[in-house]
Amino acid sequence: MSDIHQPFHATPVFPRGFRCASRNVGLKPTARDLTLFVSDVDAAAAAVFTRNHFPGAPIVLGRETLKGGVLRAVIANSKVSNVATGARGVENARRMAAAAAAEVGTTADRVLVSSTGVIGVQLPVDKIEAGVVGMTGELQDNPMVGAEGIMTTDTHPKALSASVGAATITWVAKGSGMIEPNMATMLSYIFTDAALDAATLDRLLRAAVSRSFNMLSVDTDTSTSDTCAILANGLAGPVDESEFLAVLQAGCTRMTEILARDGEGAEHLLRVSVRGGHTPREAHVIAKSIVNSPLVKTMVHGADPNVGRLLMAIGKCFDCTIQPLTTDAWINGYQVVAHGERLAFDDAIVRETLSREVVDIEVSLGVGTGEAQAYGCDLTKGYVDENAAYYSS
């Protein structure tokens, strides 16, 4: 799906010193619902979290935990998000961290807690406390096992890995709906055996996220639980920082595309590139406007060459510098707009290109040098069906 030529491993593997386990502890009827990621040694760590004004209890605790810049483990549950649960929810998150710390042999301030699932339900923390016991005996090298335990409406577990010098970077994530970063109902954990300190990790993570996860949107809805954390245990020694950032960015972008393609009910990955914006910020706004437009999404879903919807999504960005006479647009390389006017294109050709699994929309604004790329998916009846009964399912 990606144009990035980074050689990701054919089968995802963990970096040195990282392992995971997942099991069912009774939050779901049968599927895995609790995951534990563990480093053999303390790891430098950094994270970015949701900007939603109703952050879940794990976010409240996570912001406190990451001030220390060191993690030994991550524990995450699915099914119940521990959001809108008040002081009791924060206490349950602390109990979850303490239970994982006791199992791993560390302290609670070195455990990151995440929860994902239904909002407004108290976390059955007793089940987690009992269920985590013995999980260290099940730790293994397959990151897909950990990915399974954090799935909600995801249709498949998501993990990938790549090499950078002598080190490895591994990404494990979940997310398919309520995705519009500033972060998304996205839990994303990045593990590396490169030797990098917490301050460097924070800087590199924010640079990578700004161009990848924060340009992802399934439905414009910013979740209350979004977390993207990176852990570096240093077991592979130092790496070239610029090379590390390049691979980190490539992996975050690839995972962004995987998450977008697995959007609830999605049938198409939608990638929107905007160039020639007055500023990078304006290009960002316009790219997001296009990828978020329900009418553009349904145009893609129905393979309907109604490019007026594309112009609408650009033109409604009132605070951006837009000149119709310099605006051009392409769908999968086929030009459909020139100088702000719809071209007399062959409808059959455009319908065919819109029917492909990956739809690339490219816009040239011709008013500056700003560029941005956004990632999303089409809007289908499956999305409505999935979310109309999410709370009761």
Residue 130: the pLDDT is 98
pLDDT digits (tens, 9 = 90+) for 218-229: 554 556 778 899
Q: Are 108 and 93 in contact (CB under 8 A)?
A: no
pLDDT of 162 > 80? The answer is yes
Which of 50, 185, 224, 380 is labelled catalytic? Answer: 185
pLDDT digits (tens, 9 = 90+) for 281-299: 999 999 999 998 889 988 8
Residue 230: the pLDDT is 98
Q: Residue 129 to residues 72, 92, 93, 133, 224: CA-CA distances in angstroms?
A: 18, 10, 11, 7, 23
Task: Report the 10 Å Cβ neighbour count for 324.
Answer: 12
> Of 119-123, 150-154, 301-305, which range is least confident?
150-154
pLDDT of 308 > 80? The answer is yes
pLDDT band at 385 (very low <50, low <70, confident <90, very high): low
Contacts of 48 (CB under 8 A, 6+ apart): 183, 205, 206, 209, 227, 228
Q: What percent of the chain is modeled with pLDDT above 70?
A: 90
Q: Does residue 279 carry a catalytic annotation?
A: no
Residue 180: the pLDDT is 44
How many Å apart are CA 163 and CA 243, to the nearest integer?
A: 10
Instruction: Please tell me the pTM assigned to this model.
Output: 0.82
Q: Are 94 and 145 in contact (CB under 8 A)?
A: no
Nearest of 377, 11, 347, 334 to residue 170 by alpha carbon: 11
> Of 197-206, 345-354, 357-366, 379-388, which range is least confident?
379-388
284, burial (CB in 10 Å: exposed 0-12, middle 13-18, buried 19+): buried
Rounded mean pLDDT of the chain? 89
